[in-house]
Amino acid sequence: MTNAISIFDTTLRDGTQGEGISLSAEDKIKIALKLDALGVHYIEGGNPGSNGKDIEFFQRAKSLGLSAKLTAFGSTRRKNSLAEQDSSLVRIIESGVPAATLVGKSWDFHVHTALQTTLEENLAMIYDSIAFLKRSGLEAMFDAEHFFDGFKNNPEYALSVLKNAHNAGADWLVLCDTNGGTLPGEIHDIVTRVRQEINAPIGIHTHNDCELAVANTLAAVQAGARQVQGTINGYGERCGNANLCSIIPTLQLKMNYNCVTDQQLQSLTGTARYVSEIANVNMPVGQPYVGNAAFAHKGGIHVSAIMKDSKTYEHISPELVGNKQRILVSELAGQSNIVSKAFELGLDVNANTDKTKDIMNHIKELEHQGYQFEGADASLELLLREAYGESTELFKVESFKMLVDKTNGHMVSEAIVKISVDGQMVYTAAEGNGPVNALDNALRKALVQFYPEIENIHLSDYKVRVIDEKDATAAKVRVLVESSDFDNTWSTVGVSSNVIEASWEALVDSIRYALLGMSKVEPANSESKERLGLVNH
């Protein structure tokens, strides 16, 4: 049978069931365009029967000229009623989509408990609804809800539901592990059984409640399923849906199935990061294939082996999915991490092996003090460039003061900074809604006359970590600051027993780095651009 797998993306529908995920019609348009560029075959846009936002999306999406098929989602008709008069079915047809997915019950327990009707009426609801879509000229997918739980509980009925949808003209029978509790072996056996009983195109729709959604999807494909339903980054209700960002590359690179073109596959990382930006959900740093750490190496032994042959600790070449290798510098690392980082920066390491050793020791000493450079590439780069004799000082901090005052419930935070640029002294002050914000405002205010471009820089992330808790309030804190301009993102670090001083250190590094224009050559750029969705694929 064919090796072509039909990719059905439901990020815009099932994905929005995830906690904290809410997409406007405009967001959905942006994501649909990305999904189309990635090469998915179906884009499920929403449920026109449930809300006006989705109706608006389908209206606007018509003019996008997508190669992917837009599909609408709905339920089978209400019990004891006519499909032709079911408002949600009618809205699906009115939305003008070429294809639709209808969800129906295949677990007898659900028919009794949730639907509270007879097994026969449930069959009729499914038949009538699918037949109505087909009469209306749509491609029809039938989502057999809870199919695997249903099959385990009452195989005859679960199969009769599928046969019924098939007889009504369903183009795809999609088997759903709605509660995400089924194991890969069960999925494989049950899909195999279904294919023996029914000769129809089979799809698979899994959830991640046992952290097995990807494995369950692959097991179904191996048993003959040819449509895969999932979401970008695995967004979805509870623990999420099957993650297409892991399924697509595994099917294509490791199992010889065809999902998208090799070129489209290279846009996977960009797509994943773009969608996470639009959905405003932080991506787990270690997300398989597309995460920022998916090909990041920290252990010293690993790094020295990677230098010899990246195959030693990488299961695929990161470029195949548009990701890239990163070498993290950390206490666990041998010298090789630093050397390769210096190479990245074009610094002449070999000519300076003694100096490299000194730098290595200096960095180890800093890490011992609590610095952590794996999350602060920009600070590390400043450090290395200075060590190799490049001057990176653009302004000198003479002093700063920070005052927080709360009287009668009224909070004030103000910062006073004194800096000099080429011997010219600037003394200024600013307020903020917190001490760090006040310091940031004062520093910018002092520098903007010399470096107007500072207006384009903003802090995009701020993290504080108490390093050594043995001494509670006297403990050291590490501050990580991430800054962005239009094209780039970079991170710096500060450490002190004083959270204000640590924040100040990271702020100053961040702005020095930006003003030195290093961000323009920083290797992470292209990736950051993708993250911010500033490059077109």
Map the footprint of a copy of itself across residues 188-247, applying CB under 8 A.
Answer: 208-212, 214-215, 218-219, 222, 234, 236-240, 243, 246
Alpha helices in 429-473 (DSSP H): 435-447
332, 394, 421, 426: which one binds a copy of itself (CB under 8 A): 332
Residues from 132 through 171 that contact a copy of itself (CB under 8 A): none
122, 287, 488, 491: which one binds a copy of itself (CB under 8 A): 287
Give dist(CA 208, CA 23) in Å, integer. Answer: 21
If binding is defined by CB under 8 A, does position 129 make contact with a copy of itself?
A: no
When the beta carbons of 57 and 289 are compared against a copy of itself, the nearer one is: 289
**Least distance CB 6 / a copy of itself (angstroms):** 21
Assign 186 to helix, strand or coil.
helix
Contacts of 304-312 with C-beta under 8 Å, sequence gap 24+, read 304/334, 304/336, 307/336, 307/340
Give dist(CA 322, CA 40) in Å, integer. Answer: 17
When the beta carbons of 105 and 166 are compared against a copy of itself, the nearer one is: 105
Residues that contact a copy of itself, how many (by CB under 8 A): 128
Tokens found for residue 435: 């001490």
If binding is defined by CB under 8 A, does position 473 make contact with a copy of itself?
A: yes
When the beta carbons of 2 and 473 are compared against a copy of itself, the nearer one is: 473
If binding is defined by CB under 8 A, does position 299 make contact with a copy of itself?
A: yes
If binding is defined by CB under 8 A, does position 22 make contact with a copy of itself?
A: yes
330, 352, 392, 526: which one binds a copy of itself (CB under 8 A): 330
* Spatial CA neighbour of 150 closest among 188, 181, 196, 185: 181
When the beta carbons of 264 and 292 are compared against a copy of itself, the nearer one is: 292
**Least distance CB 411 / a copy of itself (angstroms):** 6
User: Which stretch in 36-44, 304-312, 336-344, 386-394 sits in contact with a copy of itself by CB under 8 A?
Assistant: 304-312
Residues from 392 through 421 that contact a copy of itself (CB under 8 A): 398-408, 411, 413
Residues from 477 through 506 that contact a copy of itself (CB under 8 A): 477, 481-482, 496-501, 504
Tokens found for residue 409: 């419930």
Contact 215, 18 (CB under 8 A): no
Contact 499, 476 (CB under 8 A): no
Give dist(CA 492, CA 506) in Å, integer. Answer: 5
435, 512, 519, 524: which one binds a copy of itself (CB under 8 A): 435
When the beta carbons of 286 and 517 are compared against a copy of itself, the nearer one is: 286
Give dist(CA 458, CA 439) in Å, integer. Answer: 13
65, 262, 351, 474: which one binds a copy of itself (CB under 8 A): 474
Tokens 């890969």 locate to 184
Give Cβ neighbours of residue 384 (< 8 Å, ≥ 6 apart): 338, 341, 342, 345, 347, 359
* Spatial CA neighbour of 2 closest among 261, 320, 259, 263: 259
When the beta carbons of 68 and 102 are compared against a copy of itself, the nearer one is: 102
When the beta carbons of 107 and 172 are compared against a copy of itself, the nearer one is: 107
When the beta carbons of 200 and 439 are compared against a copy of itself, the nearer one is: 439
For residue 273, the Cα-to-chain-centroid distance in whole angstroms is 5
If binding is defined by CB under 8 A, does position 18 make contact with a copy of itself?
A: yes
Give percent helix, percent strand, percent coil of the chain, each to the nearest 5. 45, 20, 30
335, 372, 488, 492: which one binds a copy of itself (CB under 8 A): 372
* Spatial CA neighbour of 296 closest among 272, 268, 330: 330
If binding is defined by CB under 8 A, does position 360 make contact with a copy of itself?
A: no
Tokens 């970590």 locate to 465
